[in-house]
Amino acid sequence: EKAPVTVAVTGGAGQICYSLLFRIASGALLGPDTPVRLRILEITPALGAAQGVAMELDDCAFPLLRGIDISDDAATAFDGANVALLVGSRPRTKGMERGDLLSANGAIFTGQGRALAEAAADDLRVLVVGNPANTNCLIAMNNAAGVPAERFSAMTRLDHNRAVAQLAQKAGAQVSDVSRLTIWGNHSATQYPDISHAVVDGRPAVDVVDRPWVESDFIPTVQKRGAAIIEARGSSSAASAANAAIDHVRTWLTGTPQDSWTSMAVVSDGSYGVPEGLVSSFPVTTRDGEWEIVQGLDVDEFSRARIDATVAELADERDAVQGMGLL
Ligand code: NDP
């Protein structure tokens, strides 16, 4: 039997984790042959609720689940973690300014970055889901001395999956027939879902769908999908976010398909004019736990303006947290 993999998850009592933890324990994250140990981090007032989730995990009698530990101390929760899913973050509450949100999360993600460096396993891989995800990831990455920056990522896979589904539906194709779609930039309303290199059933997407649909329907639909789900469902898109987190890590560890790529927010090396050091979403190929930014794609004027706008927002967020001394 394979050795168990330790997966640390924060925000364990929250909505996303109420889907996510059960998928991980069932084998959806690491495959049907890999046992998993869960280590859950929660804030002290939510420890009881996290215990309740652990009771339900026990009650599923998942054959692959080899233990659940719960803690309100980050270094304890991250002990030996091979994969860390940072889901918990401080939500924006009424009257809170953007600066308040960034500083509240700054305290959380500086501490978690340090704790990961201190306690996690050498092969650690980190996914940040909690918003503002790119900047929370930037903070954790910069505070995790000794952990290579390439081990950190933030989630734009839900945006990617949403875009794939919208394009497939419009084209009358299967989602599995869509490839080479990209989400650029920030996981926020400024993100740029880009079909200029996408392929649908062997044909360039730009020949399959019309330009006005892309500009006035597809792009805003993907950008505002989170709000549309809240409007329709009365609560946020937790299950699809959990599913995207599973997809993100599974693709990272097992690899992208030949001739295609995925979208991940990773540290920029300056590719496509994105300033070095920002955590921005790119077209990315993966293999055996390593990622590479796809190089050499043409960027037309329309795409250039949209990439620049979302990257400018990331640079603003970075400047704000840098000004607070969080990097
Ligand atoms: P959720 O589980 O619904 O969401 C968690 C985070 O994921 C939020 O920041 C949320 O952003 C973000 N997110 C990213 N993509 C999506 C998406 N598509 N749909 C919804 N959310 C998305 O939040 P809950 O409030 O239910 O739970 C959070 C838990 O985290 C609480 O139990 C809290 O106690 C815990 N927490 C733990 C910390 C820790 O472990 N140290 C620190 C802070 C909180 P957005 O806010 O934009 O919706």
Q: What is the pLDDT of residues 154-178, one digit of tens each?
A: 999 999 999 999 999 999 999 999 9
Instruction: Supply the pLDDT for residue 130.
Output: 96
**Mind listing the pLDDT tens digit for each residue in 195-229?**
999 999 999 999 999 999 999 999 999 999 999 99
The rounded distance, in Å, linking the Cα atoms of 16 and 91 is 13
Q: Which domain holds residue 24?
A: 5-154
217 and 285 part of one domain: yes
79 plus 176 within the same structural domain? no
| 100, pLDDT greater than 90 | no
Atom of ligand 1 nearest to the CA of 244: 18
Whole-number pLDDT of residue 231:
96
Indicate whether this model's pTM tops 0.95: yes
Choice from 43, 137, 156, 161 to test ligand 1 binding pocket (greatest atom count within 8 A of CB): 43
pLDDT digits (tens, 9 = 90+) for 108-119: 999 999 999 999
Residue numbers annotated as active site: 187
Predicted confidence at residue 317, as pLDDT, reads 95
Instruction: Report d(CA 8, CA 227) in Å as an integer.
Output: 28
Residues 51 and 123 occupy one common structural domain: yes
Residue 231 lies in a domain: yes
* Structure confidence at residue 132 (pLDDT): 94
Rg (CA), the chain: 19
Question: Is any ligand 1 atom within 6 A of the Cβ of residue 237?
Answer: yes
Query: Does the pLDDT value for residue 95 go beyond 90?
Result: no
Measured distance between the N- and C-terminal CA atoms of the chain, rounded to whole angstroms: 42
Are 139 and 260 part of one and the same domain? no
Do 175 and 192 fall into the same domain? yes
Residue entry with tokens 């070095």: 276
Give the Cα separation of 305 and 149 in Å (integer): 27
Ligand 1, pocket-test mutation among 89, 155, 157, most atoms within 8 A of CB: 89
Q: Domain check: are 172 and 148 in the same one?
A: no
Whether residue 100 is contained in a domain is answered as: yes
Q: List, for residues 129-144, the tens digit of each pLDDT value.
A: 999 999 999 999 999 9
From the CB of 187, is ligand 1 less than 6 Å away? Answer: no
Tokens 């650029």 identify what position? Answer: 184
* Check: complex ipTM more than 0.90: yes
Q: Does 202 share its domain with 257? A: yes
Last residue of some domain: 154, 175, 191? Answer: 154
Q: Residue 92 above 90 pLDDT? A: no
CATH number reported for the structural domain that contains residue 58 in this entry: 3.40.50.720
* Residue 223, annotated as binding a ligand: no
59 found inside a domain: yes
Q: Does 16 appear as a known binding residue?
A: yes
User: Is 24 known to sit in a ligand binding site?
Assistant: no
> Is the residue at 232 inside a domain?
yes
Q: Whose CA is nearest to atom 27 of ligand 1?
A: 14
- Domain identity same for 115 and 255: no
* Residues of the chain above pLDDT 90, percent: 95
Q: Could you say which of 116, 138, 154 is where a domain stops?
A: 154
In the reported structure, the alpha carbon of residue 271 is separated from the centroid of ligand 1 by a whole-number distance in angstroms of 30
The answer, yes or no, to whether residue 99 has pLDDT greater than 90, is no
Residue 158 Cα: closest atom of ligand 1: 18
Q: Give the model's pLDDT for residue 275.
A: 98
Give 19's pLDDT tier (boundaries 50, 70, 90): very high
Write out the two tokens for 200: 């649908």
Of the three residues 113, 131, 154, the one that is the final residue of a domain is 154
Query: Is there a single domain that holds both residue 135 and residue 169?
Result: no
Are residues 195 and 94 both part of a single domain? no
Does residue 322 belong to any structural domain of this protein? no
